Amino acid sequence: MEKSALQIARAAYQPKLPAALKGAVKAQEGAATQSVGNQEEIKALFPNTYGMPVVEFVSADSENNEAINVGIILSGGQAPGGHNVISGLYDGVKSLNRNSKLYGFLMGPGGLVDHKYVEFTDELIDEYRNTGGFDIIGSGRTKLEKESQFESGIAILRELGIKALVIIGGDDSNTNACVLAEYYAAKKYGVQVIGCPKTIDGDLKNEQIETSFGFDTACKTYSELIGNIQRDCNSARKYWHFIKLMGRSASHIALECALETQPNICLISEEVEKKEMSLDDVVTYIARIVADRAADGNNFGTVLIPEGLIEFIPAIKKLIQQLNEVLTDPATGESREFGCADEQIAFVKGNIAPENLAILESLPADVARQLCLDRDPHGNVQVSLIETEKLLSRMVAGKLAVWKQEGKYNGKFSAQHHFFGYEGRCAAPSNYDADYCYSLGYNASRLIANGKTGYMSVIKNTTAPAAEWIAGGVPITMMMNIERRNGANKPVIRKALVELDGAPFKFFAAHREEWAKQTAYVYPGPIQYWGPTEVCDQCTKTLALEQAK
C-alpha cells in the first residue's frame, strides 16, 4: 500500500492508554442494573444478560493469560477510529498471550453469516494504525436478528475456535450484539459478545458512555470546512451558505459545529420539535435573520442544518411515522414490494390519514416523492437524500420576495448549498479519537478475559488526561427500551437526543442572537496531531461543557 508522508509519520504514533489498563487488571463489580425503560419487557426478552453489574477495571497482581481466539465485526456506517479499536483489541489479546488470534469478518455482519474472514497479523495491523476508514475489513448493514443467522455464525466461530466476538457499531448494531449475546448465552454455546460504541452522529451516549467514537474527528473535520466557507463568505460578502450536516436522529453534529464555528444560524431539530414549529415557522425564522443582517448591509451568512430536521417538524414527523407503518408488510415486517414508483405513491396516498395526506400534498413535489419512496435497510425514510438545504433556501427566497413587495425587505439574497457527510466519516482520527478508540479495543480484550458477555466497552473521564481515564464495561441491556419500529414493538438502545436543558445547548442559545447579528465567525482550521496539548488533544466542546470542563 502506497503511503503519504503523514501516514508514515502517523503510523508511529502510540495511542495513550488509561493507567488502569497498563498492567494486570481485575473487574470490580457494582450493583445490579436495569434497563432505562420497559424493565419487565426487556428482562423477559433478555433473561440471561439482564441485570448484570457495571464493571470497572482496577489493578491486579495477575490476570487470565490463556490464549483466546476473538472475532471482530465493523457494522454500519464508517467512523474515524475504527482501525484503532481493532489495533487496540489486537494488542490487547496479544498482551494476554502471544498465541491468541484475532479474526476480522469481512463487510460487516454478513461476513459472519457467510463465513468470510481474514486473520490479522502484525504486518496487516501495522498498515492501518491511526488511519481513518473501515477498509481493513470493510463494513456492512446486515442485521443480525434471525436464528438462521445466529446458527450460521456459530458454525464458523466453532471452526475457528473463536470464544468471543466484538461488534463495533451504533445503537442498532449494538442492539443486535445484545440479541446475539442473549441467544448464545441461552444456548450455552460458550461465545461471548462485546460491543463498542461507534457513530459520528453522537447519539449513542448516556450516563455510562460519554461519547461515541468518531464524533470528535467528524465534527472537527466538518468545522474546518465550515470555517473555510465562512472565511470565503466573509470575503465575498454576497452569498448565504446553507450547510446540511449528518445527523438523522439527533442534532449533536450541528450543535458541536456551531459551538466550534459560531455561524449566523444553526437549527436544532429537537428545539423545532419542542416548539412545535411548522416548516413555515422555520423558514420565517431564517428569513428574519437574513433581513435583519441585510438592514445592516450584510447580505451574506451561514446556516447549519441537521440532515434529519424535516423529521422533527411535528406535522411531517406524524406523516413519516404513518408512512413507515403503511410501507411495512405486517406479515413479514419487511418493506412492501411495488411494481413501480407511481404504484407505491398511489398506495401511500390511498392508505394514510386525511390530515397526513394534506401535509404530503402541501410539500414541494420532489420532497413529497422522496418521502414516499426510498427507505433505508431499517425501513425508514432516507432523510439524508432529501435536499433540505435547497428546500429551505428556496422557501426563504420566496418569503423574502414577498417581503420585498410589501416594502419589508430591501436586501439581496443569493444562496450556495453544501452537504457534509462522507467527508467526515473516514477522516484520519484526531488524537482524542485515536486514543479513545485504541483504549476501547484494548479494554474489550479485558472484558473478554474476565468472562463478560452482553457488555459494551466503555472508557470514561475522557476530559482528563488519558492516564486518568476510567476503563470498564456496561451491560447493553441497561441502555435498552421498547420502541415502535417497522410496525412492531422492538427492543432497542435508546438514542440520545440533544438535551435542551443541557449545558451545550444552553451555551449555544445564550450566544446565537449575537452570532446572528454580528459576523463572529471562528475558523478552527485542520486537525492537528503534533504540538501543544491545548491544540492537539482537546475533546469536543460538547463534551467539555457536559463535563463542566
The catalytic residue positions are: 201
What is the residue-wise DSSP string for 130-156? T--SSTTT--B------HHHHHHHHHH
* Dist CA 192 CA 89 (whole Å): 15
* Dist CA 350 CA 338 (whole Å): 14
Residue 342: CB atoms within 10 Å: 10
- Which residues are within 8 A (CB) of 98 and not within 5 positions of it... i.e. 6 or more apart? none
Classify residue 134 by burial, with Cβ atoms within 10 Å: 0-12, 13-18, 19+.
buried
* Dist CA 179 CA 144 (whole Å): 8
Residue (of 213, 276, 226, 277) closest to 255 by Cα position: 226
By the 8 A CB rule, do 283 and 392 touch?
yes
CA 428, 248, 202, 437 dihedral sign is negative
* Dist CA 45 CA 481 (whole Å): 11
The strands making up 265-266's β-sheet, listed across from edge to edge, are: 265-266, 301-306, 240-245, 415-420
* Dist CA 120 CA 114 (whole Å): 19
By the 8 A CB rule, do 433 and 218 touch?
no
* Dist CA 424 CA 132 (whole Å): 10
Distances from the Cα of 96 to the Cαs of 62, 65, 89, 93, 254, in angstroms? 10, 5, 11, 5, 41
* Dist CA 170 CA 172 (whole Å): 6
The strands making up 455-460's β-sheet, listed across from edge to edge, are: 25-32, 53-59, 470-475, 455-460, 192-197, 162-169, 69-74, 101-105, 117-119
| Beta strands in 273-313, from DSSP E residues, in sequence order | 301-306
Strands 192-197 and 455-460: parallel
What grid cell was written down for 356?
397526513
